[in-house]
Amino acid sequence: MKRILVTGATGQIGSELVPVLRDKYGRENVVAAGHRRKPEDEFIDAGPYEIMDTTDAQSISALVQKYSIDTIYHLAALLSAKAEENPQLAWDINMNGLQTVLEVARHHHCTLFFPSSIGAFGPSTPPDNTPQVTIQRPNTLYGITKVAGELLCDYYFKKYDMDIRGVRFPGLISYKTLPGGGTTDYAVEIFYAAVKNEPYRCFLKEGTRLDMMYMPDAIRAVIELMEADARMLTHRNAYNITAMSFTPDQLYASIQKELPDFSMTYEVDPIRQEIADSWPHKMDDSAARAEWGWQPEYDMEAMTKEMIEKLRKEGSHVT
Ligand code: SER
């Protein structure tokens, strides 16, 4: 039986991954760890919750021992725009945090999942059908920590024979927990405005094409990769995965099909626009498809319909 620790458990991915892991492996076998003193009730009621600093090896080690952890999903990180605001903190959390977790995992023989990102690419990367193996010279602090993270995970895999796996996530769209300070956040915020019948001011300009994915696909990808036969995995850290690729105007049109009165204008944030302009338009995820059977289920239309339906139902979450 797996005994799992999830760092960053109260974040956008963690808040949806933890319940799925608990259903699958048993509530007592999945420890949610976050930095919030007071997490959502669902964490307190649904299974073990611990407050943790991902740069403090001793406290992570103590948790791993306390719960006999054998698998860590290390999700704690600052997103791209937040990282540009505070590069020192981003380095500390994203880089030192990962290295600390890798060391704890090494000492306690844990398997590790590490999420990389489209942010691991940069302006000199081919933006269309971005290959699995290509130029990675990102010019954001977030991207630098993601490339270094990929390389560090590969290093620990090779040098210490550890089982470490990762994906390069595109922008993730979800209705449960808002992302905190990413460049692709517009594709989430837009739905919150639409459902409240409010106009939306998009911070990326018309025509800015980026890879995206609906959260249920992202969660399934993580679990399928972690359950894949290790002998099939050649690329490991980290696999390109994508589900859809669209521009703000295309998403706007897709929402308008459901909500014809919805309106959107543009107020471009130059910092996030520059970040977005340095990222791929559409990644080639054929390595993930070939090595562990990756296959997305949601396209933009299906995702749009479900986001609107879920946000309407979950009215209390719409802030
Ligand atoms: N969604 C992330 C961000 O925008 C990219 O991985 O920062």
Which DSSP string do the residues of 191-211 spell out, in sequence order?
HHHHHTT--EEESS-TT--EE
How far is CA 103 from its chain centroid? 22
In a domain, 286, yes or no: no
Number of separate domains in the chain: 2
- Bridge-based pairing state of the strands 30-34 and 49-51: parallel
Q: Say which CATH number the domain at 311 has.
A: 3.90.25
Distance 184 CA to ligand 1 centre (A): 6
Question: What is the reported pLDDT for 314?
Answer: 80
Domain that holds residue 70: 4-170+213-240
Please check whether residues 143 and 110 belong to one and the same domain: yes
Question: Before 238, cis peptide (omega within 30)?
Answer: yes
Residue type, 148: A
| CA gap 55, 73 in Å, rounded | 15
Please check whether residues 154 and 265 belong to one and the same domain: no
Please check whether residues 257 and 189 belong to one and the same domain: yes
In a domain, 287, yes or no: no
Ligand 1 neighbours (beta carbon < 6 A): 79-80, 117-119, 142, 169, 171, 182-184
For ligand 1, pick from 183, 203, 204, 279 the residue to mutate: most ligand atoms within 8 Å of CB.
Answer: 183
In a domain, 292, yes or no: no
Please check whether residues 140 and 9 belong to one and the same domain: yes
> Is the Cα dihedral 138, 140, 144, 145 positive or negative?
negative
In a domain, 76, yes or no: yes
Please check whether residues 93 and 175 belong to one and the same domain: no
pLDDT tens, N- to C-terminus, the chain (319 residues): 799 999 999 999 999 999 999 999 999 999 999 987 666 666 666 889 999 998 899 999 999 999 999 999 999 999 999 999 999 999 999 999 999 999 999 999 999 999 999 999 999 999 999 999 999 999 999 999 999 999 999 999 999 999 999 999 999 999 998 888 999 999 999 999 999 999 999 999 999 999 999 999 999 999 999 999 999 999 999 999 999 999 999 999 999 999 999 999 999 999 999 999 999 999 999 999 999 999 999 999 999 999 999 999 986 455 4
Question: What is the reported pLDDT for 119?
Answer: 98
| CA gap 212, 138 in Å, rounded | 19
Query: Which residues lie across from 245 on neighbouring strands?
Result: 211
In a domain, 289, yes or no: no
Please check whether residues 127 and 187 belong to one and the same domain: no
Please check whether residues 187 and 175 belong to one and the same domain: yes
In a domain, 41, yes or no: yes
Question: What is the reported pLDDT for 38?
Answer: 65
Please check whether residues 44 and 130 belong to one and the same domain: yes
Residue position matching structure tokens 């299974």: 47
Distance 175 CA to ligand 1 centre (A): 16
Please check whether residues 177 and 39 belong to one and the same domain: no
Please check whether residues 123 and 266 belong to one and the same domain: no
Query: Which residues lie across from 283 on neighbouring strands?
Result: 130
Question: What is the reported pLDDT for 316?
Answer: 45
In a domain, 158, yes or no: yes
Distance 143 CA to ligand 1 centre (A): 9
Question: What is the reported pLDDT for 67?
Answer: 97
Q: Say which CATH number the domain at 118 has.
A: 3.40.50.720
- Ligand 1, atom 3: closest residue by C-alpha: 182
Please check whether residues 153 and 177 belong to one and the same domain: no
Which DSSP string do the residues of the chain spell out, in sequence order?
---EEEETTTSTTHHHHHHHHHHHH-GGGEEEEES-SS--HHHHHHS-EEE--TT-HHHHHHHHHHTT--EEEE-----HHHHHH-HHHHIIIIIIHHHHHHHHHHHTT-EEEEEEEGGG--TTS--EEE-SS------SHHHHHHHHHHHHHHHHHHHH---EEEEEE-EEE-SSS--SS-SSTHHHHHHHHHHTT--EEESS-TT--EEEEEHHHHHHHHHHHHHS-GGG-S--TTEE--SEEE-HHHHHHHHHHH-TT--EEE---HHHHHHHHTS-SEE--HHHHHHH-------HHHHHHHHHHHHHHTGGG--
Please check whether residues 232 and 304 belong to one and the same domain: no
Residues known to be catalytic = 142
Question: What is the reported pLDDT for 46?
Answer: 83
In a domain, 293, yes or no: no
Distance 283 CA to ligand 1 centre (A): 14
